[in-house]
Amino acid sequence: MTGFKESQDIQHTLLGRRILLGITGSIAAYKSAFLARELVKRGAEVRVVMTPSATEFITPLTLATLVGHPVSSDFTENLDSGEWTNHVELGIWGDLFLVAPCTAQTLSSFAQGACSNLLQAVFLSSRCTVAVAPAMDLDMFTNDATQESLKILSERGVKIIEPTSGSLASGLEGKGRMEEPEVIAGFVEKFFSNMMPLSGKKVVVTAGPTEEPIDSVRYIGNRSSGKMGFALASRLADLGARVTLITGPVNINTPPRVAQRIDVCTAEEMHDATIKIWDKMDAGIACAAVADMRPVNPANKKLHRGDLPDSISLENTPDTLLEMGCRKSSKQILVGFALETDSVNESLKSAESKLKKKNLDLIVLNTLADEGAGFNHDTNKVTIIKSVGEHTEKRIFELKTKREVAHDIIEVLSPMLISKK
């Protein structure tokens, strides 16, 4: 049975964005509560990291209540058990690390690479863009040392949200006030909007398994969880693509900003739904684990034990990827997947053969021989093979989370897709 679901609130730029909010010891820390609430209201998922001095201005309980997650402020979460806060995981988690307010001390520490508290350790571990909203007194802000720290950080790619002028905590008037929460939230929205190089591109992604009925309760299927396909759809949507996600039976929520989700069950349903829209797409990623065979005469009722046949006749299912490759225009890009169990050399030969036979631009090879890769894992280990004229180029990646693998695949795909006119 095929169903159509339009995802909700896709107009919210921050829907599903992961924002790590850092708070340092400034009187402006009270504004962080309003900022956290504003980011959450606009759809972002927010986690908070505080310096020890920040907790003297606003309580972790306040922030934890607003964002719905525990606040991290120390390397050790539980002294009795020895449980510690993994700053590396926090640094990897975020799509943006926003430090607001950011004191002169923290700016200096960031510039020098100091690591005397958890927030500084997260900064050094962050793989995402960092933005800082300075907050301090006039003379501190204009001091040459502070300006030098800002210059160094800016040259390293850190985004600076300039403070405003007005009444300061010291009683002076001048520049140093942290920008207002609504303005900072607007900056964050604009930041993500500018990170959408695939805006306007239409991409279809297939995901999950198919189920080919034997009778009304039994079926032939596989162990695909759909996680890889959903991660790819999520990443494409993050970059502004209009994604149609066609998925077999899985228990996964639709990623934020995915424009359309089509639920199917069988290989034929997946074929029909995909081919129906393929000509209108700029790219397709066939990540689904589609059954190659199906029972010829499935029963329309449950077969009891004594009624089950000794053998089941099978027939081929439609080859959706092959048909997509045959119909592909010069303006379209097609990506396939190859799951193998053979040796490395045999797996590469098989993947390259599939790349050519099905007229693909890229093929993503993974093998069940690699521990932690394949079905029912949150990780994967892939080799991306690209067709370049009569030759191929290969990029081998280490074992990563499927979210990180999706980033790697789309990083290879994006320039190809952008260059197509």
Q: What is the rounded CA–CA span in Å between residue 21 and residue 279?
A: 43
In the Cβ-directed half-sphere of 323, how many Cα atoms lie within 13 Å? Answer: 15
Q: Which amino acid is at 266?
A: T
Report the mean per-residue pLDDT for the chain: 90
For the chain, report the end-to-end CA distance as a whole number of angstroms.
36
Residues 6+ apart with CB under 8 A from 378: 227, 401, 402
Q: What average pLDDT does the segment 125-134 reach?
A: 94
pLDDT at 5 over 70: no
Residue span(s) of the chain under CATH 3.40.50.1950 come to 18-193
Judge whether 379 and 400 are in contact, CB under 8 Å.
yes
Judge whether 39 and 185 are in contact, CB under 8 Å.
yes
Judge whether 5 and 254 are in contact, CB under 8 Å.
yes
The secondary element (H helix, E strand) that includes residue 235 is: helix 227-238
pLDDT at 80 over 60: no
Q: 18-193: which CATH number, 3.40.190.10, 3.40.50.1950, 3.40.50.150, 3.60.21.10? A: 3.40.50.1950
Q: What is the rounded CA–CA span in Å between residue 260 and residue 247?
A: 11
Q: Which of 206, 242, 243 is closest to 226 using CA atoms?
A: 206
- Which pLDDT does position 85 carry in this prediction? 61
Q: What average pLDDT does the segment 224-241 reach?
A: 94
Exposed/middle/buried for residue 312 (C-beta within 10 Å: 0-12, 13-18, 19+):
middle
Pairing of strands 173-177, 202-207: unpaired
Q: Which fold has domain 202-299+315-419?
A: Rossmann fold (3.40.50)
Largest CA distance in the chain: 90
Judge whether 220 and 248 are in contact, CB under 8 Å.
no
Judge whether 396 and 383 are in contact, CB under 8 Å.
yes
pTM of the complete model = 0.71
Read off the tokens for 421: 């006119």
Q: What is the rounded CA–CA span in Å between residue 11 and residue 19?
A: 18
Q: What is the rounded CA–CA span in Å between residue 339 and residue 222?
A: 12
| Residues paired with residue 102 on neighbouring β-strands, in sequence order | 134
Q: What average pLDDT does the segment 20-47 reach?
A: 95
DSSP assignment, residue 93? H
pLDDT at 44 over 90: yes
Residue span(s) of the chain under CATH 3.40.50.10300 come to 202-299+315-419
Q: Which residues are catalytic?
A: 222
Residue 3 binned pLDDT confidence (cut-offs 50, 70, 90): very low
Q: What is the rounded CA–CA span in Å between residue 328 and residue 335?
A: 11
Residues 6+ apart with CB under 8 A from 122: 20, 22, 49, 87, 90, 91, 97
Q: What are phi and psi of 139, to 5 degrees?
A: -65, -35
Q: What is the rounded CA–CA span in Å between residue 380 and residue 382?
A: 6
Torsion of CA 374, 338, 276, 227, to 10 degrees: 10
The secondary element (H helix, E strand) that includes residue 278 is: helix 267-278
Q: What average pLDDT does the segment 392-407 reach?
A: 92
- Which pLDDT does position 342 carry in this prediction? 81
Q: What is the rounded CA–CA span in Å between residue 261 and residue 258?
A: 7
Q: What is the rounded CA–CA span in Å between residue 254 and residue 245?
A: 9
Q: Is 280 helix (H, G, I), strand (E, B) or coil?
A: coil
Residue 14 binned pLDDT confidence (cut-offs 50, 70, 90): confident
Residues 6+ apart with CB under 8 A from 362: 333, 334, 335, 336, 355, 384, 385, 386, 387, 409, 412, 413, 416
Residues 6+ apart with CB under 8 A from 199: 239, 240, 241
Residues 6+ apart with CB under 8 A from 311: none
Torsion of CA 367, 207, 200, 355, to 10 degrees: 40
- Which pLDDT does position 26 carry in this prediction? 95
Q: Which of 409, 40, 28 is closest to 232 using CA atoms?
A: 409
- Which pLDDT does position 1 carry in this prediction? 38
Question: Given the structure tokens 């040259």, which residue do they identify?
Answer: 155
Read off the tokens for 46: 């927010």
Q: What is the rounded CA–CA span in Å between residue 228 and residue 401?
A: 9
User: Which tens digits make up the pLDDT trace of 298-355?
Assistant: 999 999 988 888 899 999 999 999 999 999 999 999 999 999 888 888 999 999 999 9
